[in-house]
Structure 1
C-alpha cells in the first residue's frame, strides 16, 4: 500500500514539474523577439475563433427560437387535425342547402324574366310545370335560436329528418298533380281530385301538404312530437298555416 501511495505522489509531482516547465517556456517565449510574432498570430487566431463561436451561438439561439415556433405550429396542426377528424366522424345526416334558395323562385316569374331571349320556351315551360319546391333544412344556428320551451327535447337531427320526409311528401303529392289524367289509375285519379279540393285562393301557385298526405306518403306519426316540429318550422319561417273548411294546410315558404 505504501509503494502505491508513493507512486501516486511521484506521478503528481512529475505532472506539476511538467506544468511548471511549460509555463517557464511560455514565459521565455514572451521575451524572445523571434517568437513574439508567432504569439501575436496565435492571439489573432484565438480572437477569430471567439468570433466564430459567437456566430455559432447566435445561430444556435435562432434555431432554438425556430424550433419552438415549429413545435407550436405542430401543436396547432395536430389540434386542427383532431378537430377535422371529429367533424368527419360527426357529419350531420342532412346538410343545409342555403345556396339553392335562388332556384326556388316562382316558375312563372322565371318565364317572364327569360322573355324572348329563351330559344325553347315550350320545353322550359314543361320543365317549370313539373318543378317541385323543397323545404330548406335548418341550420344549426337557426335551431339554436329556437326557444327552449318550444323545442323541448327535440334535437337538430330529428327536425331535419322530418323535413326530409315532408319534402318527400310534397314531391309525391305534386307528382300526381303534374301527371297527365290519361295515365292515371282510378286510385290516382281519386287522389288527384282530393288534392284539387284542398286548394284555395291562398294556396294557388304554392306548395302545401295536409296531415292526410303525411299518413299517405310517409311513415311519420302525426302525434304531439310531430306538431312540436311543425311549430319549430313555423318559427324558423319554413312553412305557414292556411286554415279553412276544417282543414289545416301547411304551405312551404
Structure 2
C-alpha cells in the first residue's frame, strides 16, 4: 500500500514520504551507496508525486467550480426568499373586491368594450329599425359595472383622486352593483308578493323614472343609502366623481328636489353600469 492510497490528510501524506525517504537513506548507508533497487524505490516515489500533482490540479478545479455553484446558490436563495416575502404579502393583502369562488354565476358583468361591441352589431343589423327601449323592470338579469383597473385609476387626475386608494374605488363598485341588483330584484317581484313597506319602496322607485332614465338601469342616492354600505360623504362623493370620470356612471339631475340619478355614460350606449 502506497502513501498516496493510505494517507487521510496532507500531514499524513508528508509523514509517509518522510518515512520512506528516511528508510531509503538508511538502506543506502547500510549498503554503502545507491544500489539499483534503491533507485527503483525512488522511481516509485516519483510516480506517486506525479499522481499527487494531478490530483491536486483536479481538486483545485473542483473547488473553483464549487465556489461558483455556491455563489449561484446564494443568489437563487435570496431571490426565492424575496419571492416568498412578496407572495406572503400578496396573500395577506388581497383586495376585498376580488371575485370570490362562491360568487353568483348568474350575475352578468358588462365591460365598456363588450357593450360597445354589442351595440355596434345591433346597429348594423337594425339600421332601418328604431332601437327598442329596454324594460328594466322585466329583465331577468341586471347588468353590473366592471371593476376599475390600476392603470385607469392612476390615469385619473390627482386633484380628482385626492387621497383615495385603489381598493376603495372597487369596493364602491361592489356597493353600487349590490344596490342595482337589490333594487331591480325588488322591481321584478310580482305585486302580490310585495309587503306594504316594499310596495312603498317600489312606488318611490317608479316615481324616479323620467324621460332621461326611461329604459335605463339607474340608482339614486337614497337607493345607495338604503341597500349598500357606501357612505355618500365627501369621500364617497369623490369616488362617484372618479367613476363618472372613468365613464362607469353618468349623472342625470332630476327635476325639482329629486336626488341625482346615477346612470351609464352615453358612450356606453345607454346601458347602466
- TM-score computed with the length of structure 2 as normaliser: 0.65
Matched, 1:170 2:180: yes
In structure 2, the partner of 1:6 is none
> Could you say if the C-alpha distance between residues 219 and 60 of structure 1 is closer, same or farther in structure 2, counting changes exceeding 3 Å?
closer
Q: Choose the corresponding residue for 1:249, options 261, 265, 269.
A: 261
Q: Which has the larger displacement, 235-244 or 51-60?
A: 235-244
- Counterparts of 2:140 and 2:214 in 1: how far apart (Å)? 15
Matched, 1:207 2:212: no
1:250 Cα shift?
A: 1.0
> Could you say if the C-alpha distance between residues 51 and 171 of structure 1 is closer, same or farther in structure 2, counting changes exceeding 3 Å?
same
- How well do the aligned residues superpose, as a CA RMSD in angstroms? 3.5
Give the structure with the higher percent helix: 1
SS in 2 for 1:129: coil
1:77 Cα shift?
A: 0.8
Larger radius of gyration: 1
> Could you say if the C-alpha distance between residues 146 and 96 of structure 1 is closer, same or farther in structure 2, counting changes exceeding 3 Å?
farther
After superposition, the C-alpha distances for 1:134-165 in whole angstroms (9 at most, x for unaligned) are 22332333222221100112222332332222
- Counterparts of 2:244 and 2:147 in 1: how far apart (Å)? 13
1:229 Cα shift?
A: 1.2
What 5-or-longer segments of structure 1 have no aligned partner? 1-18, 114-127
In structure 2, the partner of 1:76 is 79
- Counterparts of 2:176 and 2:32 in 1: how far apart (Å)? 104
Q: Any conservation in 2 of the 1:96–1:138 contact (CA below 8 Å)?
A: no
> Could you say if the C-alpha distance between residues 223 and 64 of structure 1 is closer, same or farther in structure 2, counting changes exceeding 3 Å?
closer
1:86 Cα shift?
A: 1.9
In structure 2, the partner of 1:187 is 197
- Counterparts of 1:30 and 1:130 in 2: how far apart (Å)? 116
- Counterparts of 1:23 and 1:184 in 2: how far apart (Å)? 121
Matched, 1:159 2:162: no
